[in-house]
Structure 1
């Protein structure tokens, strides 16, 4: 799942206009039990940034607490998704620069207004697929640009 989904699940002001749809889709995914949900590192960082940029200090605190509680649930294995444990090393950074399986480099993506965060989510997916076998992985996103690569 990407940042757009996590922000909607948390109800982050200005970033959760599709909250009801996302909650319904999460409920459906959990009931179907036909997929595992992974939380990419990028979604954690970007969501934290969105919360920190909220104009209202009260909302910053409320949503930061909600976010921290959600991350604790992930650590404790109580969230409906697991952390995607990715190794940040030279291989990961090289894959990011090369654009992974997208067929376009980081430079090309940036020139086409695809951010490094979106590209990194795709690289995390690629690396997850490389270390697992016999599975399919897509990115749950509301971002049309990112969805074009999933």
Structure 2
């Protein structure tokens, strides 16, 4: 069976080739092509969407920001319509947000943000839903890339 992959912000920034944030665009695009050939399921967490949008909005000159924002809107819109290799995930309920907020002070004390906490919860949920598949976070950040569970037999 194919793997289940959650994209972290560090990867989405590379895919979108965000100025001053994308340092490995060609290598990441090659890795993306490989994942697509393997027919991996690629999830785009809400935290990744929001964090990437923030990076774009605070980056470069107005022309660069606009061009990058247009690429971002196209990718996310296509994902929302099912016309992309990425599937959006994590449209939170009030109950889920309350649980995450309760965990956040302890999580923040480790130096990690709410976005990473939400991706960790997405990963746990996908692990329980896809027991027979590898479930992992594709990230350039060491602490998130450690979330990689082999298929359960």
TM-score normalised by the chain length of structure 2: 0.82
Highest relative contact order (Cα 8 Å, sep 6+), 1 or 2? 2
Partner of 1:113: 111
Instruction: Give distance in 1, aligned partners of 2:90 and 2:16.
Output: 22
Q: CA deviation at 1:43?
A: 0.4
Partner of 2:58: 53
Q: CA deviation at 1:85?
A: 4.5
- Say which is worse superposed, 69-78 or 15-24, in terms of deviation: 69-78
Equivalent of residue 15 in structure 1, options 3, 12, 21? 21
Query: 2:137, 2:146 within 8 Å by CA — same for their partners in 1?
Result: no
Name the SS for the 1:139 alignment partner.
strand
Summarize deviations over 1:31-60 as a string: whole Å, max 9, x none: 122x20000000000000001001311111
Question: 1:86/1:139 Cα in 2 relative to 1: closer, same or farther (>3 Å)?
Answer: same
How many residue pairs get aligned? The number is: 142
Instruction: Give distance in 2, aligned partners of 1:46 and 1:29.
Output: 23
Instruction: Give distance in 2, aligned partners of 1:128 and 1:149.
Output: 11
Q: CA deviation at 1:122?
A: 0.8
Query: 1:8, 1:17 within 8 Å by CA — same for their partners in 2?
Result: yes
Partner of 1:125: 123
Instruction: Report the RMSD for the aligned CA atoms in angstroms.
Output: 1.9
TM-score normalised by the chain length of structure 1: 0.83
Q: Is the aligned partner of 1:2 residue 2:44?
A: no
Q: Is the aligned partner of 1:84 residue 2:82?
A: no
Q: CA deviation at 1:92?
A: 4.4
Q: Which runs of 5+ in 1 are unaligned?
A: 99-105
Q: Which runs of 5+ in 2 are unaligned?
A: 1-6, 149-153
